[in-house]
Chains A and B, each alone.
Chain A
Amino acid sequence: MFIAYFTEQPDTSYPKEVGDRLGYTALLMPNEHFNAEAVSGLYQERLKEYLYVEEVGFDGIMLNEHHNAPFCLQAKCNIFAAVLAAMTSRVKIELLGNPLPVNDNPVRLAEEIGMIDLISKGRIISGFVRGGGTEQISTNANPAYNRERFVESHDLIVKTWTEPGPWRWEGNHFQLRVVNPWIVPLQKPHPRIWMPGVASKETVIFAAEHRYPFVALSTTIDITKKIWALYDETARRVGYEAGPETKGYEMRIHVQDTEEKALEAARHYMWMQGEFTGVTHPVWHNPAGYGSPSWRKQFVEMANGRRKNVANVDSTTTVEDLRTTGNIIAGTPDQVIEAVRHLLTELRPGILNMWCSDGGMSHETTMRCIELMGREVLPAVRQIADGLGLQSPFEANAPVSLAATPKQELQPVGA
C-alpha cells in the first residue's frame, strides 16, 4: 500500500462575501481580492506540514495544479514539487498532475519534470491530467482539442524521456524543430505515470491501455467499481491482469482526538459547497468540446441551470450527508481506521491518497491530524492492506507502462 497526503492548498484569505455576492469564486472573481501577505503565510504553513508528513511516515505527498481560483494555491505543481525535492529526502512527490493540454511546449514540461526527478534523486511520480474545464478558458487552451492535445503531449513527453535525440516533432498540435533536451529524468525508462480522473471513460481506457494506475478522485464506491471494471476489461484486452497496483483512490479523510473535533474540522471540506473544483459557473466548468460527447446532455443541462452538478452536490449538502454516503471520512483514529478498512475491502486499491486538510482548517488542526495519522492510522491501514494483499506499484515492482512490459508477458484476450 502506498499512502500519500494531499491538500488543495486552499486560500481562505479572500473576503467570503465577495464570492457569495458574485455566486462564483473561480475565473472571474476579481484578483484585487488576492491577499499577498496572507498567502505568503499560508505557503509557509503548507511547507511545515509537508515536512511533518514525511516525518510521520506517509509514503508520498500528492500535489496538483489549478488556475484563477482561491480553492487551490498551486498555479504550477512543478514549483512545489521542486521545493519539496530539495526539502524532503524520502517521500515520493506525486504530481497529480501536470495539465498537459494547457501547456504549449510539452518538451519544456519533460525537462522540468526531469530536473525535479534528478534533484529529488528519483522520487517523482509524474501524473498527467487534462485540466479542469474552467482552466481551458483561463489558459486559453482550446477545449475542443483538449483530449487530442492531451494524447499528443503525453506521447511527445514519453518519447522525449525514452528516445535519444535529436529528432523532430511535427504533430497535429505541437511542432518542435529540435527535440534534444540535455536533461532527462533519473528514473528509467521514465518516472511512473499515474492518471487521476473522475467520470471520463476515455481517461480510464487511456490509463488501462498504457498500464498506468488510475487514481479515482473521491468517486462513490459504486461508480469506482464501474471504473475498475472498465479498467480491468481494457487491461485484459491489451494483455495483462490489472491488480491493486493499478488502482488508486483519493478520499477526504480527517482524524482528530475526538469525533466532535473531527467533525468540526471536516466542515471545512464544505467551504466550496462540496464542489471540489471550486465554485464556477457550470458553463465554464464544462466548455463545449471539453467533455465526453456521451455527457453532452448532462453538461448542457447543468450549464443552463436544469440540473445539479454531476456529483449531485450543492450548497445545501452538509458534511453529515457526505459522511453518511461515505464521501467524507472523519472521526477518531479508530473510527477512521474502520472506515478505511471498509473502503479498502470494497475497492482494493494499492494507492491511497488521503485528502486530509481543506478550507479553513487551521495549521494546528492540520498538524494534529497529520500526527494522529502517522502514529495511529497509517500503521493500522498498512496492516489491513497487507492482509488484503493490496500492493502498490512499487511493492509489486510493476512495469511503468505497457510499452515497458516484456512482450512475452502480454496475453491479449478478446482483442
Chain B
Amino acid sequence: MTEALTALPEAPEEFVDVIGEKIRWLKKGSGEPLLVLHHEIGNPGWLPFYERLSEKFAVTVPDFPGWGQSERPLWMRSVRDLAVEMNLLLDQEGIDQVVLVGLGFGGWVAAEMATMNQRRCKKLVLVAATGIQPKEGEIVDQFLLSHLDYVRMGFHDLKNFDELFTAEPPTELLMDWDVHREMTARIAWKPWLFSQTLPRLLPGLKTPTLIAWGADDRIVPLVCGEQYRDALPNARLEILQGAGHFLEMEKPDELARLVTGFVGS
C-alpha cells in the first residue's frame, strides 16, 4: 500500500458472519449509528472522511460481500441482492435505526436498502450515487478504461489522487481494483450501474435525504443528482465545488460537515 494509505488513522476491524459468509467491517466512534457504504472501487482504508464522522457518530464501514476482505458471494446476481444482504446484516446486529451514507455505487446500495426498510433508515445521504439512468449523458464505463485512468477521472484535482494513492500506485492496489471491478460486473453489468426499476420506487421513500455531488463529477453525471432529488419527496441537493466523483476523498472536511449538519438538523 502507499505511504499515505498506511499513514491513515486506524479503526478496529471486525469480522461477522451473515448467511454463512464472512463480512469485514471497520468501526470507530460512539453515538448514533452511521453506516458508510463504499464505492465500487472498494474501501481504500480508514479515510479522513470517516475519521471526521467518527467524532460525532458510531461509524461502521463494511466491505461489501465480494469486496476487500469480505468473502465473495458466488450466488449474488444483482445490486438488490446486495442491499438485501446488507439489511440482513443490520437485522442480525440489532441495528434498528441507522444513518446510511452511500458513496457512488454505495449510494445505489443505500437507496435500495432504504426503499426496502425506510423505518430503519433514519436519514439517507447519497454521495454521487449511481443507480439511476442519467437523462443526459452516461455513467462512465470503466470497462473501457484502465484502472488508473478510471480512478483518476474521478478526481477534480490529480494532486488529491497522487496524495492518497501516489502518482504510480502499487500493482497490488490495481489488482484490488480489478477484483472489485469483476465483482461489480457480477452484479451490475447490464444495464451498467443503474436499475430500471429503482426510480419508480423512490417516490415512496419519505426518509429525509441529503444528496451531495462534486461539481466536476466526470463519472456519474450531475443530472443523476437532480433526478434523485426530483424523485425523492424529502431530498435536497448540495453541489461541492472543486470536487469530482470521489468527493469524500477530495473534500473530506466539507462533506463531513455537511453530513453532520444534516443529521443533526
Residues of A within 8 A of B (CB): 28, 137, 140, 142-145, 281-284, 287-289, 296-297, 299-301, 303-306
Distance of A82 Cα from B215 Cα, bound (Å): 55
Q: Which of B144, B148, B171, B181 contacts A288 (CB 8 A)?
A: B181
13 pairs from A and B in contact (CB 8 Å cutoff): A28-B144, A137-B143, A137-B144, A140-B190, A144-B186, A144-B189, A287-B185, A288-B185, A289-B185, A289-B186, A297-B175, A303-B174, A306-B171
Distance of A287 Cα from B171 Cα, bound (Å): 16
Give the distance to chain A from B81, nearest Cβ to Cβ, in Å: 14
**Judging by beta carbons under 8 Å apart, are A296 and B175 in contact?**
yes
Distance of A205 Cα from B78 Cα, bound (Å): 31
Distance of A288 Cα from B66 Cα, bound (Å): 14
Q: Does B178 contact A (CB under 8 A)?
A: yes
**Judging by beta carbons under 8 Å apart, are B144 and A299 in contact?**
no
> Which 8 pairs show the lowest CB-CB distances between chains A and B?
A289-B182, A288-B181, A288-B182, A144-B185, A142-B189, A144-B186, A300-B174, A283-B146
Inter-chain contacts of A287 with B (CB < 8 A): 143, 185
The secondary-structure label for the interface of chain B is helix
Give the distance to chain B from A44, nearest Cβ to Cβ, in Å: 35
Q: Does B223 contact A (CB under 8 A)?
A: no
Interface string of B177-189 (1 = CB under 8 A from A): 0110111011001
**Judging by beta carbons under 8 Å apart, are B146 and A288 in contact?**
no
Inter-chain contacts of A283 with B (CB < 8 A): 143-147
Inter-chain contacts of A303 with B (CB < 8 A): 146-147, 174, 178
**Judging by beta carbons under 8 Å apart, are B185 and A281 in contact?**
no
**Judging by beta carbons under 8 Å apart, are B178 and A300 in contact?**
yes
Query: Which residues of B, 183-222, contact A by the 8 Å Cβ criterion?
Result: 183, 185-186, 189-190
Give the distance to chain A from B188, nearest Cβ to Cβ, in Å: 10
**Judging by beta carbons under 8 Å apart, are B175 and A142 in contact?**
no
Contacts A144-B182, A283-B146, A288-B182 given: A301-B189 contact, CB under 8 Å? Answer: no
Distance of A283 Cα from B123 Cα, bound (Å): 39
A-B contact count (CB 8 A): 63
Q: Which residue of B lies closest to A299 (CB)?
A: B178
Q: Which residue of B lies closest to A284 (CB)?
A: B144
**Judging by beta carbons under 8 Å apart, are B171 and A142 in contact?**
no
Distance of A140 Cα from B147 Cα, bound (Å): 19
Inter-chain contacts of B145 with A (CB < 8 A): 283
**Judging by beta carbons under 8 Å apart, are B185 and A305 in contact?**
no
Contacts A140-B190, A296-B178 given: A304-B147 contact, CB under 8 Å? Answer: yes
Interface string of B143-163 (1 = CB under 8 A from A): 111111000000000000000
Distance of A282 Cα from B148 Cα, bound (Å): 13
**Judging by beta carbons under 8 Å apart, are B174 and A304 in contact?**
yes
Distance of A289 Cα from B143 Cα, bound (Å): 11
Give the distance to chain B from A147, nearest Cβ to Cβ, in Å: 12
Distance of A131 Cα from B183 Cα, bound (Å): 20
Q: Which residue of B lies closest to A306 (CB)?
A: B171
Inter-chain contacts of A282 with B (CB < 8 A): 146
Inter-chain contacts of B146 with A (CB < 8 A): 281-283, 303-305
Distance of A300 Cα from B186 Cα, bound (Å): 18
Distance of A300 Cα from B146 Cα, bound (Å): 8
Give the distance to chain B from A138, nearest Cβ to Cβ, in Å: 11
Q: Which residue of B lies closest to A148 (CB)?
A: B74
Name which of B146, B179, B183, B190 has the most chain A CB atoms within 10 A of its CB: B146
Interface string of B70-106 (1 = CB under 8 A from A): 0000000000000000000000000000000000000
Give the distance to chain B from A249, nearest Cβ to Cβ, in Å: 32
Distance of A371 Cα from B145 Cα, bound (Å): 46
Name which of A283, A284, A297 has the most chain B CB atoms within 10 A of its CB: A283
Q: Which residue of B lies closest to A307 (CB)?
A: B171
Inter-chain contacts of B181 with A (CB < 8 A): 288-289
Give the distance to chain B from A229, nearest Cβ to Cβ, in Å: 28
**Judging by beta carbons under 8 Å apart, are A142 and B144 in contact?**
no
**Judging by beta carbons under 8 Å apart, are B190 and A288 in contact?**
no
Inter-chain contacts of A284 with B (CB < 8 A): 143-144
**Judging by beta carbons under 8 Å apart, are B171 and A301 in contact?**
yes
**Judging by beta carbons under 8 Å apart, are B144 and A300 in contact?**
no
Inter-chain contacts of B186 with A (CB < 8 A): 142, 144-145, 289
**Judging by beta carbons under 8 Å apart, are A300 and B147 in contact?**
yes
Give the distance to chain A from B4, nearest Cβ to Cβ, in Å: 19
Give the distance to chain A from B14, nearest Cβ to Cβ, in Å: 27
Give the distance to chain B from A200, nearest Cβ to Cβ, in Å: 16
Distance of A281 Cα from B149 Cα, bound (Å): 12
Contacts A144-B185, A304-B148 given: A288-B143 contact, CB under 8 Å? Answer: yes
Give the distance to chain A from B125, nearest Cβ to Cβ, in Å: 28
Q: Which residue of A lies closest to B148 (CB)?
A: A304
Q: Which residue of B lies closest to A133 (CB)?
A: B143
Distance of A289 Cα from B74 Cα, bound (Å): 13
**Judging by beta carbons under 8 Å apart, are A143 and B175 in contact?**
no
**Judging by beta carbons under 8 Å apart, are A300 and B190 in contact?**
no
Distance of A20 Cα from B7 Cα, bound (Å): 44
Give the distance to chain A from B178, nearest Cβ to Cβ, in Å: 5
